[in-house]
Amino acid sequence: MNTHQRQPEMPTLQVLPLVHMLLHEQHDAQRSEPLLQRLQLEGVLKNPPIVAPIPANGGGEAQQRYVVLDGANRVTVLRALGIAHIAAQVVDYEDPELVLDTWHHLIKGMEGQRLLDLLRALDCASLRQTDLMQARALLARRDIVAFVQTTQREVWVIECRGDLHACNNCLNEVVNAYKSEARIFRANTDHLDELLPLYDGATALIVFPRFAPVEVMELARVGACLPAGVTRHLIPRRALRINLPLEVLRSPQSLAEKNLWLVDWMKQKVAAKTARFYQESTFLFDE
């Protein structure tokens, strides 16, 4: 029996200008501020952002631009540090193994009634109470922008009329209404009962729709961002723990020189057997 296994394809790592990075989601201040302090203290970029080339739209763009699929906080922090380049993993957004999923927001530190009152005050949206099954159906058809479940077993749909950009603007207003008062945890299920044993004091769950890659690209092209912590990209062969020294990105070397250095650095990692591919599903407890 042939037990030979093929060597997995190496991730594509490149040093790219930060000015060519376009965010598709807002950065999260609850995450970016601690990240800024850690980068200043440690001086290394632990995990590279994930980016995908944005196809040319016929406008004669001179430079290739990239949409940041994951890593808005890292890009924002490096810009704040005045660093011109970033090491990123470049992926094909049409790769069938790349999955665009959704995060939902589990809320702590804010009573459910307070959350509903803030959402009712929004001009862009209206609230209507319903049951969970209908809310899920409405969200699947994109007839609503989100729905809320409370620990009192109430379900409220958030309705907004308009195109993708109008709904995105409303979605940002929805998240802005609670993000400064509440503590937000990202959840990958809309089953609130499964989450409550894991998060003491949780009061509500905001459930968001599933977006398509073409919508992410359309928003990024025009500088429009979804709220932080809504899209969830599952990346095949993701590069983690590269621990790249920031001094390399800060150096006055040209972009071409930095990329040659990166290629040689990757070869050394492979030769030293410090680069390892994990095929099995993994839990990390030090993120």
Read off the pLDDT of residues 54-91 as tens digits, 9 standing for 90 and up.
987 655 556 899 999 999 999 999 999 999 999 999 99
Chain position carrying tokens 């290739």: 64
pLDDT of residue 279 exceeding 70, the answer is no
pLDDT mean over 258-277: 86
pLDDT band for position 21 (50/70/90)? very high
Q: What is the pLDDT of residue 98?
A: 96
pLDDT band for position 255 (50/70/90)? very high
pLDDT band for position 7 (50/70/90)? low
Residue type at 202 in one-letter notation: A
Closest CA to 119 of 154, 164, 80, 77: 154
Q: What percent of the chain has pLDDT over 90?
A: 79
Beta strands, E only, 71-137: 85-90, 99-102, 104-108, 126-130
pLDDT of residue 12 exceeding 90, the answer is yes
Q: What is the pLDDT of residue 262?
A: 94
Query: 105-152: per-residue pLDDT in tens?
Result: 999 999 999 999 999 999 999 999 999 999 999 999 999 999 999 999
pLDDT of residue 272 exceeding 90, the answer is no
Q: What is the pLDDT of residue 6?
A: 60
pLDDT mean over 11-33: 92
- How far apart CA 191 and CA 204 sit, in angstroms, is 11
pLDDT mean over 184-210: 96
pLDDT band for position 281 (50/70/90)? low
Closest CA to 37 of 72, 85, 80: 80
Q: What is the pTM of this model?
A: 0.87
pLDDT of residue 284 exceeding 70, the answer is no
Q: What is the pLDDT of residue 155?
A: 98
Tell me which of 100 and 241 has the higher pLDDT: 100
Are 210 and 15 within 8 A, CB to CB?
A: no
Tell me which of 57 and 229 has the higher pLDDT: 229
Bridge partners for 202 per DSSP = 108
pLDDT mean over 192-202: 96
